Amino acid sequence: MTTTLNRELSEVVSSNRLNIDTIIHGDCLTILKTMPDTCIDFIFTSPPYADNRKKTYKGIPTNRYVEWFLPISNELRRVLKPEGSFVLNIKERSEGGERQTYVIELILAMKKQGWLWTEEYIWHKKNCYPGKWPNRFRDAWERCLHFTKKKKFKMFQDTVMVPMGDWAEKRLARLSERDKIRDESRVGSGFGKNVSNWLGKQYVYPTNVLHLGTECGNRGHSASFPVTLPTWFIKLFTEEDDLVLDPFMGAGTTALACIQLKRHYLGIEMMEKYCDLAQGSINKWNERINNNNNIRQLSF
Ligand SMILES: C[S@@+](CC[C@H](N)C(=O)[O-])C[C@H]1O[C@@H](n2cnc3c(N)ncnc32)[C@H](O)[C@@H]1O
């Protein structure tokens, strides 16, 4: 790892109050309680999804999900820096023909805990496998809930800009007079736009819908997300050398994104076999980076 430590981080690390660039084996609530206040820049995680993976790791009953998560989110809030962000990848399951409401209840409970529910991003799973259910269609999206401690937080929007694409050629080729001035909303929403501002621009800001594949290199974990998911959010909410926490680390995907982006990571994982799996992937990833003269654009 060629990442360096900023002064703040090197103080907590050298005083043995925090381990970094490591996967800690244990229950996240217990481990979080040992960590110092406000030491983490960004938290990205995907917790166990209420009951449905009982066979692979301990599931949480749907009706106890909020009660189980709140002590954890309380600790996450304590360890997060004031200008930091927490992105929670989650999706409520369907039970007995009905979508459950524990994610909605969790959002309300976390707001009472002091979190600001700043935004909701949608991860659209571009290539999810087909299927048929009697009362719905295949599930092709998950929530990425963005929580912050303050209204003003660290965000680097330019790092996730996307090519303007076809829209520019078609729409900007036919600018009306109205397009050339600030066009106040005709429905009175208060939002105005000046379309001609985008003339000559190659990149624009993305929407809050991320169209990403589900492929995750078959790394031996039944619930891994693709490395592109944490990568996008880490770029948006952190700078080089920042410290990113994933309290439900699984196969180590968040750590791999951090290594590629020169961020520090800290992972917590309850199951030893997943800690080993994550550490194996991290070692391989680091080896490949070293063998490629530090080229970090690697894929599985
Ligand atoms: C949805 S998976 C995370 C997968 C991960 N995002 C990846 O890409 O591989 C949730 C993980 O949390 C772990 N876990 C469940 N309860 C935990 C707890 N209390 N503390 C730490 N890890 C826990 C599970 O063993 C599982 O690996």
Q: What is the pLDDT of residues 65-123, one digit of tens each?
A: 999 999 999 999 999 999 999 999 999 988 888 999 999 999 999 999 999 999 999 99
DSSP character at residue 250: T
Residue 189 has pLDDT above 70, yes or no: no
Distance between Cα 273 and ligand 1 center (Å): 11
pLDDT for the residue numbered 300: 35
**Could you give the 3-state DSSP secondary structure of residue 95?**
strand
Q: Which atom belonging to ligand 1 lies closest to the Cα atom of 278?
A: 9
Mean pLDDT of 154-176: 82
Mean pLDDT of 172-199: 68
Q: Which of 64-73, 181-190, 194-203 has the highest mean pLDDT?
A: 64-73
Those residues with Cβ within 8 angstroms of residue 29's Cβ, 6 or more apart along the chain or in another chain? 71, 72, 75
In the chain the domains, ranked by start, together with CATH numbers, are 7-161+207-291 (3.40.50.150), 163-204 (no CATH)
Q: What are the start-end ranges of the E strands in 6-113?
A: 22-25, 40-45, 80-90, 94-95, 98-99
The Cα–Cα gap between 226 and 87 comes to 15
Q: pTM to 2 decimals?
A: 0.89
Those residues with Cβ within 8 angstroms of residue 137's Cβ, 6 or more apart along the chain or in another chain? none
DSSP character at residue 245: E
The Cα–Cα gap between 262 and 246 comes to 16
pLDDT for the residue numbered 298: 46
Question: Where does ligand 1 bind, in terms of residues with CB under 6 Å?
Answer: 27-28, 46-48, 57-58, 221, 223-225, 248, 250-251, 253, 268-271, 274
Name the residue type at position 217: G
Distance between Cα 28 and ligand 1 center (Å): 9
Mean pLDDT of 230-258: 97
Residue 230 has pLDDT above 90, yes or no: yes
